[in-house]
Chains A and B, each alone.
Chain A
Amino acid sequence: MKRILGILLALIGTASLGAEPNALPPDSLYQLQAALTDQDGRAIRLDVHRGHPVLITLFYSSCPAACPLIIDTLRATEKELDPATRANLRVLMISIDPGRDTAEALHRLAETRRVDTSRWTLARADSADVRTLAALLNVQYRQLPGGEFNHSSVITLLSPQGVIQTSSTRLGTPDPALVAKLGP
């Protein structure tokens, strides 16, 4: 009973603290309570990189063409930045293929593509959360009967508080508009 009361008090405490010093802007994507899993199997939230500017994008690891290009584009975009800006930037890639993209599959991809997981996170979410995320990021996607996906490729820049700053559909080369928003 004491323990239950303790939990109750803790809950009340959390609720009353709720809003203030950590309140998110009303248009912050971090209000979405999506449960993600990263490439190391850790449970994370969409706001895993809160406090840093984040390039966020949806992809799937078995994708033959567009998705490798997404990683290349993210890298090329980072190369345009000065070292301090780059060191402060984070990348969050979320799979639209929860069926095949297990944490292990994401881990393999991170190794194969030599992803710096100190700043980049590959993550998966359940399909209901993926749909909500895709809607928030304005990504259209559809699974084809063979298991592949057709999807629009959108790289979105989030502010440290999770507000969309700009987004780009350019693949292959860095989008100057994105680089300008990231720049010092």
Chain B
Amino acid sequence: MRHAAQVVCLVVAAACAHTAWAAQPAAPRAAIPGGTFATILPPAEKLKEATVRAFQMDRRTVSNADFARFVADRPEWRRDRVAPIFADAGYLRHWPNATTPGENLAAQPATQVSWFAAKAYCEARGARLPTWYEWEFVAAASATVPDARDDPQWRQAILEWYARPASATLPDSGSTAPNFYGVRDVHGVVWEWVLDLGSMMVSADNREQGDPDEKRFCGSGALTMEQKDNYAMLMRIATLSSMQANYTSGTMGFRCVTGPEPRP
């Protein structure tokens, strides 16, 4: 069927909006080498390190202008057409109308976007959302080193973001300084959706597998976090774990990555 649509596309220009946008090359993504690092969310009991494979990450968060092109291409994601199972009532509510963000918001990060919508955006670009470990790996970098997490000055600078009033206007997408990998906006702009949102609060303790007294796994991940002095990361995890996949928030944005599909 998809093939048939492409055939038609060659014939009728009007039908081509869809593939035309999706086929436009994305801005060059930053190459992230991957590696093994100490994570705040242990992948298994007594295993404090996570490994990510090499991947490519958007250098900035997706902007409202970017998202408007997606909505034009996939009208089922317009706020007046989206299925309520995929986005709550706040979805793109801040746009002046259903199709455009307006000049003031165009360059700002796309927020008020649900996880379902963010995931669909990335898939339409031939990409995907980053996993938590991929995001955490990149977020450990300062401007000069790949892992600055033990640098008190760097940590303090990140924490200062949280002290800013939430009502302040969001900085433009891509307006913060690039980190070690050339990725911007990791800290200091918005929270970001991750692909494995539904995994973050699952216990990594496999003794609980099938335990008759523990048939549901709820919130145990929160109890096994490492680096309890890393407030900025703890806040991010707390924020993500409070979000359902159809929720939207004025401070939750996203970016896409490409690379081998990680294990679920």
A residues engaging B (CB < 8 A)?
Answer: 4-5, 7-8, 11, 26-29, 31, 63-66, 69, 96-99, 127-128, 130-132, 134-136, 138-146, 148-153, 169, 171-172
Evaluate contact between B7 and A7: CB separation under 8 angstroms: yes
Q: Which of B59-67, B152-160, B182-190, B207-215 contacts A (4 or more CB under 8 A)?
A: B207-215
CB contacts (< 8 Å) of A153 on chain B: these are: 215-216
**Chain B 192-229 near chain A by CB (<8 Å), digits 1 or 0:** 00011111011111101111100111100000000000
Known: A63-B210, A152-B216. A141 touches B198 (CB 8 A): yes
In the assembled complex, 24 residue pairs joining A and B whose CB atoms fall closer than 8 Å, in A order, are A4-B11, A5-B11, A8-B8, A27-B85, A28-B85, A29-B85, A31-B85, A65-B211, A66-B215, A69-B210, A127-B263, A131-B119, A131-B196, A134-B198, A135-B246, A140-B217, A140-B218, A141-B199, A144-B209, A145-B43, A146-B206, A150-B205, A150-B206, A152-B217
CB of B257 within 8 Å of the partner chain = no
Known: A135-B115, A150-B206. A11 touches B83 (CB 8 A): no
Across the A-B interface, give the 5 residue pairs with the lowest CB-CB distance, nearest first. A65-B210, A135-B245, A142-B199, A142-B202, A66-B210
CB contacts (< 8 Å) of B255 on chain A: these are: none
CB of B163 within 8 Å of the partner chain = no
Evaluate contact between A144 and B206: CB separation under 8 angstroms: yes
Evaluate contact between B264 and A136: CB separation under 8 angstroms: no
CB contacts (< 8 Å) of B89 on chain A: these are: none
CB contacts (< 8 Å) of A138 on chain B: these are: 244
Evaluate contact between B209 and A96: CB separation under 8 angstroms: no
CB contacts (< 8 Å) of A128 on chain B: these are: 119, 123, 128, 261
Known: A27-B83, A29-B85, A148-B206. A143 touches B263 (CB 8 A): yes
CB of B55 within 8 Å of the partner chain = no
CA distance A134 to B119 in the complex (A): 14
Min CB–CB distance B177 → chain A (angstroms) = 32
Min CB–CB distance A119 → chain B (angstroms) = 25
CA distance A154 to B196 in the complex (A): 18
CB of B84 within 8 Å of the partner chain = yes
Known: A131-B195, A139-B198, A153-B215. A11 touches B4 (CB 8 A): yes
CA distance A29 to B11 in the complex (A): 34
Evaluate contact between B215 and A169: CB separation under 8 angstroms: yes
Known: A152-B216, A153-B216, A171-B215. A135 touches B198 (CB 8 A): yes
Known: A130-B264, A145-B43. A172 touches B245 (CB 8 A): no
Evaluate contact between A11 and B5: CB separation under 8 angstroms: yes
Residues of B in contact (CB 8 Å), total: 45
Other contacts beyond A8-B8, A28-B83, A148-B206: 20, CB < 8 A: A11-B8, A11-B15, A26-B83, A27-B85, A31-B83, A69-B210, A128-B261, A135-B115, A135-B244, A135-B245, A135-B246, A140-B199, A142-B204, A143-B264, A144-B209, A145-B43, A150-B202, A150-B205, A150-B208, A171-B215
A60 (CB) vs chain B CBs: closest residue: B264
CB of B17 within 8 Å of the partner chain = no
CB contacts (< 8 Å) of B116 on chain A: these are: 132, 135
CB of B54 within 8 Å of the partner chain = no
CB contacts (< 8 Å) of B218 on chain A: these are: 140, 152
Evaluate contact between B264 and A7: CB separation under 8 angstroms: no
Known: A4-B8, A135-B115, A153-B216. A127 touches B43 (CB 8 A): no
Evaluate contact between A135 and B197: CB separation under 8 angstroms: yes
Q: Which of B123, B203, B215 has the most CB of A within 10 A?
A: B215
CA distance A7 to B217 in the complex (A): 49
CB contacts (< 8 Å) of A171 on chain B: these are: 215
Min CB–CB distance B242 → chain A (angstroms) = 14
CB of B238 within 8 Å of the partner chain = no
Which of A29, A64, A131 makes the CB contact (< 8 A) with B264?
A131
Min CB–CB distance A36 → chain B (angstroms) = 16
